Structure 1
Amino acid sequence: MEYQAYSIRKILDAATSGEIRIPAFQRGFVWEMDRVAHLLDSIYKGYPFGSLLFWRTKQQLAAERRLGTFILPAPQAEYPIDYVLDGQQRLTSIFTVFQNELKPEPNPEWTDIYFDLNAGDNPQDSAFLALENVEEAERHRYFPMRVLFDSVGYRANTDHLDKAKIAVIDKLQEKFKEVTIPVQVLKSEDRSIVAIVFERINHLGVALDTMQLLSAWTWSEDFDLLDKFRDLRDELSDFGFAGVGDDSDLILSCVAGILAKEPGPETLLALNGADVRAQFPRVEQGIRGAIDFLRTQLKVVNLKLLPYPSMLVPLAVFFAEPEGKDVVYNSATYQRLKRWFWRTCFSARYSSQTRKTTIHDIQQVELLKNGQPNTFGDIDVKIDETFFRNSFRVGAAATKTFVLLLSNNSPRSLLSGKQIDLDKVLQSYNRSEFHHTYPRAFLRDQGYEEASINMLANFCFLSGAENRNIGKKKPSVYLSDLGGPEHNIEETLASAFCKAEEFNDDYEFFLKGRLARLVAFAEKLMG
C-alpha cells in the first residue's frame, strides 16, 4: 500500500483525464447536498474528513463515465488506472463542486454550494450552504464555490465586493488550493486481494457483492454479466431464484464449478473475462439442465427443497454443454446420478467440508460424463429407522430429504385419494401441507411426549383443511371417514407408506410398520 497526498487540482485533472475512474461495481452518488456542504466546511476548518482508497491496475474494468453532474470523456492515457474503492462520495462531491472545464449535465438532485461571508468563526455551524438560487441582492453575502478555481469566474464574482470581503475569499481560495487529500493506493493485480480489501473497508458494513465485481471484470460492450444473470434469474424464478442477490453465491459457485472446476465465488476472480463471456452459454445450459433433472426426475420443484444447495454445482457441471447441445447419457449413468443424489442426502455429507466434497464430486461427475472410471455415487451410507425418528423441522436437511422421499412415491390425498399436485404443494414448501398421521391431540391425550409425536415417521402430506377435518379423532375413527365408491383406500395409504390395519389406535404398532417401509424405500432410492 502506497500513501500519497493529492491536491484538489490534481484530483480534478486526474478525473478529467481518466486517470481516476469510478468502477461500475460502486454505488451511484447518494449524498444529500447538505452533506456535501459539510464536507467543504470540514476541509475549510481543518477538520478530519477521511481519505480516499484507489486501486491502481492495468486491468480494464467497466467504469462509470458519469461523475456527479458531468459526463467524463474517454481516458486520455493508457493504463494503469486508479479505480476508486473507498471515498467515492467525497471524490464525487469535490469534483462536481470545483470542476470548471466540462459542461454539467442537467441534474435536479444537485444544488450549487455557496460560502456564507456572514457565517463568522463559529466552529459548529457550517459556513457553506446548498442554495438553488441566489438573488442579485444576495451576491454580497454568498460566494459560489464552483468558481473558486476558475480565474474568470472568480473575478466576476468578487469585483462587486469590498476589500475586506475579497480578502476573506482570497483566504478561502488559498486554503482550498493548499489542502491535500490523503490517498492510499493499492497496487495489485491479484483480484482476490482487491475483493477482500473492498469488503473490509466498506464503511457502510455492506458485504462485497462478488457478482458486481465479476461483472466489472468480464464486461464488454455487448456482454453485461449482471444482465445475463438477471435473464437467467427471471427464467428460473419459479425454482427459487427470485432476485439477483438471492442465492447469488450458489449461482456463482455453479459458474466456478463449470469454468474452473472449483466452487466458490472467489475462484471466479482469477478467471479471464473473455473466457467467462465465451463460456457463459455452457453455464446457462448447465444450470438449466441441473434444475430440469432435479425437477423431473427427483421432484425437487424448488430450491428450498434441496437438502444441501451446493448439490446443484456438480449437477450443473454434468449438464454444461455449448449452446444448442444436450448431454446424452445412458441408463447406467442416469441411475448413478440418482444414486449420488439420494446417498448424498441420506449421508449428510454436504453438511461439513462442503468445498472439499464439492470439488471431489465435480471431478468424479466429469469422469462419469466422459465415460471414464469414476466413484461418483459410491457413498457409504447405512440407513435405519434412526433417520426417520428425527423431528419434523421445515428448514432441516433431514426433513427436506424425507419430503422428497414422500414425493417420489406418487402421494395421494388421504381423504379424497386424488393425486397430489406436487408442483403446487411444494412450490411454497411450508409446514401447512404436512401434518401428523396419528393426530397430535390424540397422542397427547395418550401421554406421548412431543419428541415422539413430532418425528418424521408420523408425518405425511396432509393439508391444513384435511387436518382440521380429522381434528382429535382417533385414527380408527377417521380411517372410517375415508372411502367412497371410487376411493381405493389401500392404494392411498400405500402412497403414504401406511396400512389400514395400523390405524388401530396403537401408535407403537403403527410406527413399527411405517418405519420399516420408509427404510426399505430409502434403500431402494439409494440403489
Structure 2
Amino acid sequence: MSTGLDNRPDATTYEVERLVQMAWRGQIRVPHFQRGFRWGREDVVRLFDSIVRGYPVGSLLLWVRRARAQHLNLGPLTVDADEMEEALWVVDGQQRVISLASALHPHAGNDPRFALAYNLRDSKFAPLTGGSPEPHVIPLPTLFDLPKLLQWFTENPSATDYQEQAYRLTTVLRQHPVPAYLVKEEDPEVLRDIFDRMNSYGKRLSRAEIFTALHAGDESQDAPNLRFGTISAEIDRRRTFGRIDEDTVNAAILARRGPDVYREIRSEFSTHNRRGTIDFPGEDRETAFQQGEEAVLRAVEFLQHDAGIPHITLLPYRYLLVVLARVFGHFPEPDPTNRRLLRRWVWRSALLGPEIFRGSTTGAVRQLCGKVRAEDLTGSVQELLGAVARPEPPLPEMVRFRTNEAAAKIALCSWWALGPRDPSSGFTFDLGELADATAEQSTVADAVRYVFAPASVPDQQRGWAANRLLIPTMLHEEGETVGEVMATPSLFVSGEELEETLRSHLITAEGASLLRDGRITEFLEERQRAVRAHLEEFLKQKCEWGFEDTPPIDTLVVDDLFNDRLTDEGRDDAV
C-alpha cells in the first residue's frame, strides 16, 4: 500500500506551443496504466474552440521520471524518442495532450479525428476535407505555424481581409496557457493510486445536471421552475406519485421535444430549425419545461388511473414513463380505445422487460420514442404495440422477492389493485399512506412487511413473495410497534371485516388457519399459490394477450369508406 507523496507537486504552466513541441520530441509519455485514446472529432473541436475563446481547458498531472529510448505512439503520431532523465508521463490529461499534439501536427490530415481547419469567414472549426480548401478556410497546422501562415496568404491574396484575424488566432493558439502539476515520485504504485482516485472517486455529472448547467440561463434570472427537481416536486404534489428522479424527468422532457432522447443537448434551444430532430424547433426553454411538465403529469395520471401503477416506486421500468411523456406530449387526450391499447403496451413491455431491445434500456428508449410520430396517435400506438409483439411470456418468478426489481414491483401493483387493508383496523390503505411510507426512498421496501421473520423460514422459502405483505403503516399490538414482522394473529381485526381484510392480502381461509397455528411452511405454500393465481389474473386483464390490437373504429370506418370508393370508381371505369 502506498504511503503518499514524498514531495509536494510543483505547479507550473505550459503554453500550447511548448507543450506540443515536447510531445513531438518524445518528452511526453503515456503510462501503461492509462486507458487508450477515446475522444472523437467533436471532442477535439470543443477543445480548440475553448482555446480560441480563451476558456480554461483544465490542468494536467505529469509524472517526472526517467524514460528509455523507444518508438512511441501518441494517438496517431509515432515518435522516435530518445532516452531522457526527466520525461513527463501523463497521469491526467492524456486526451487533451494527444489532441493538441495531433491536430496541430503537419500530418494531422492522416487521421479524420484531427484533420481540422478554421473557417475565418464563419469563425468556427470545421473538418479538413480533401482537395484545395477555400482561401478563408485554413488548415489548423498552418494556422499554428506562423511562417506557413505567411506563405498561405502569399499564395492566397484574395484572403488578405482575414489576415489580422488569422494572426491573432495564431497567437492565441500558440500562447494559450495550460496549467500542470509536476510530481516527482519513484514509486509507480503511488501514481496508480492517484490515477485511480482521479478516475474512480467522486460522482460524474448526470445528464440532467449537465442539461441544467447548459440551459439554466443567467444567474440573475428568477426561473425556479426550470429545474428538474422542482418539476418532480410539483408532480408529486399534484399526483402523490413520489419524487421522479431528475434524469428521468430530463429524459421525458427531451422525449417530448424529439424522438432521440440521447441527442446532443448543448444546442437544444438554438435558433436554427433542426428539422427531424426537434418537433418544436421554435420553442424556448421556459415553454419546453412547462409543456414537458404537463406531459409528464398526464403520463403519471395515465399510469395511476389506467395502468394501475400508483407510485413511482412500483413502476417496473422508468423508461416507460419517458415514452409515455412523448405520447402525452403530442396527444394530451387520447381516445378511450387508444388509452386501453396504451395500457396493454405498458404492461406487455413491463412483463417482457427492456432486454428484448438491442442495448436494453437505452435501446428501448431509442426505438420506442422513435415509434411515436406527431399527428398520428393511432399509428404511434400501433407501432408501440408492434415493438413488443412477442409470445406471452411466463409469469414473473415469485421465489426471489426484491422490491428494487421489476418482478416484485409487478406483483405489488397486483396487490395494490386488491385494496389492501390495515390488519388492525380493517380500513383500506390510501395512496397518501403509501406515499408517506416511501417518502425519500427509491423503493417501496419500507411499505412491505414480513409475515414471518426470515430467520424462522426454511431457506427454500425465505425469498418467496408469500412471506411479504403490502402494509404501508406501522402496526401496533398492546401499545407497542410491531415493525417489520406481523405474524401474530391478534394483529388482525376481528368480526365481519376479518374476511375482507384477509382477502385483501391474498390470505385464504385455509391460509388463515395455518397462520394461526404457526405452520410456517404450509402457510407459505398456500399463500404462494394464491399470489401466483392472482398475479396471473391481474396480468391477463392488463396485458390482454389474446385480444386483437384493433385501432379506434373511426379510423377503420374512414379507411373502409376510402377503399369502397376506390372499388366503386374501379367498377365505373370498367363499365
Kindly state the Cα deviation for residue 514 of structure 1 after the two structures are TM-superposed: 3.7
- Name which of 543, 555, 574 aligns with 1:526: 543
Match 2:475 to one of 465, 479, 483: 465
1:359 equivalent to 2:366? Answer yes
Q: How do 1:209-288 residues align onto structure 2 when only pairs under 5 Å count?
A: 210-211=207-208, 213-214=210-211, 218=215, 228-230=226-228, 231-236=230-235, 247-264=245-262, 266-269=263-266, 271-274=268-271, 275=281, 277=284, 280=288, 281-288=290-297
Specify the alignment match of 2:346 in structure 1.
Answer: 341
Q: TM-score, normalised by structure 1?
A: 0.53
What is the 5 A alignment of 1:20-35? 20=53
Residues 368 and 300 (structure 1), Cα distance of their counterparts in 2 relative to 1, 3 Å cut: farther
8 A contact 1:290–1:316 mirrored in 2: yes
Q: Which moved more, 1:212-221 or 1:459-468?
A: 212-221
Q: Identity across aligned pairs (percent)?
A: 17
Alignment: residue pair count:
346
Write the distance in 2 (CA, Å) between the matches of 1:296 and 1:262.
28
Q: Deviations over 1:452-510 (max 9, x none)?
A: 1331133222354259669999x7x82x764445x433322222233223323233334
Instruction: Give the structure 1 partner of residue 193 of structure 2.
Output: none
Could you tell me how far 1:521 is from its partner in structure 2? 2.0
User: CA offsets per residue over residues 88-147 of structure 1, 9 Å max, x none?
Assistant: xxxxxxxxxxxxxxxxxxxxxxxxxxxxxxxxxxxxxxxxxxxxxxxxxxxxxxxxxxxx
| Pairwise CA distance, 1:422 | 2.6
> Where in structure 2 are the equivalents of 1:92-491 lying within 5 Å?
182-183=177-178, 207-208=204-205, 210-211=207-208, 213-214=210-211, 218=215, 228-230=226-228, 231-236=230-235, 247-264=245-262, 266-269=263-266, 271-274=268-271, 275=281, 277=284, 280=288, 281-298=290-307, 300-321=309-330, 327-349=332-354, 353-366=360-373, 370-372=377-379, 374-377=382-385, 379=388, 380=390, 382=392, 384=394, 387-427=396-436, 428=438, 429-437=443-451, 439-440=452-453, 444=456, 448-462=457-471, 463-465=473-475, 478=489, 482-485=492-495, 487-491=496-500
Contact persistence 2:424–2:475 (CA under 8 A): no
Distance 1:472 1:286, change over 3 A: closer
Q: Which runs of 5+ in 2 are unaligned?
A: 1-14, 20-50, 59-87, 101-119, 126-173, 180-197, 272-280, 515-521, 545-575
From the superposition, tell whether residues 426 and 19 of structure 1 become closer, same or farther in structure 2 (CA, over 3 Å): same
Cα distance in 2 for residues equivalent to 1:472 and 1:205: 38
Looking at structure 2, the residues matched to 472 and 314 of structure 1 have their Cα atoms a distance apart, in angstroms, of 38
C-alpha distance in 2, partners of 1:440/1:363? 47
Aligned to 1:515: 532
C-alpha separation in 1, matches of 2:216 and 2:528 = 58
Using the TM superposition, give the Cα deviation of residue 217 of structure 1 relative to its aligned residue in structure 2, in angstroms.
5.5
TM-superposed CA distance for 1:205, in Å, is 6.2
Instruction: Mark the CA change 1:470 to 1:301 in structure 2 (over 3 Å): closer, same or farther.
Output: closer
Normalised TM-score (structure 2)? 0.49
What's the offset of the Cα at 1:300?
A: 4.1
- Could you say what secondary structure the match of 1:376 adopts? helix
Structure 2 counterparts to residues 30-41 of structure 1, below 5 A = none
Deviation for aligned residue 1:449:
2.0
* RMSD of aligned Cα (Å): 4.8
The DSSP-based 3-state class of the residue aligned with 2:257 is helix
Give ranges in structure 1 of 5+ residues lacking alignment: 7-17, 28-46, 57-76, 83-178, 185-200
SS in 2 for 1:319: helix
Change (3 A) 1:501 1:346: same
Q: Distance in 1 between matches of 2:250 and 2:234?
A: 16
1:390 deviates by 3.1
Residue 470 to residue 219, structure 1, CA distance change in 2 (3 Å): closer
Q: What is the CA deviation profile of residues 229-267 of structure 1, one whole-angstrom value per residue up to 9, with x for unaligned ones?
A: 25424423556886xxx8333223223322220223x44
Cα deviation, residue 320, structure 1: 0.8
Question: Structure 2 vs 1, CA of residues 466 and 273 (structure 1 numbering), >3 Å: closer, same or farther?
Answer: farther
Residue matched to 1:115 = none
Which whole-Å CA distance do the structure 2 matches of 1:471 and 1:229 have between them? 37
Change (3 A) 1:370 1:298: closer
Could you tell me which residue of structure 2 aligns to residue 14 of structure 1? Answer: none
1:395-432 deviation line (CA, Å, top 9, x unaligned): 22222222222112222123321011233224415434
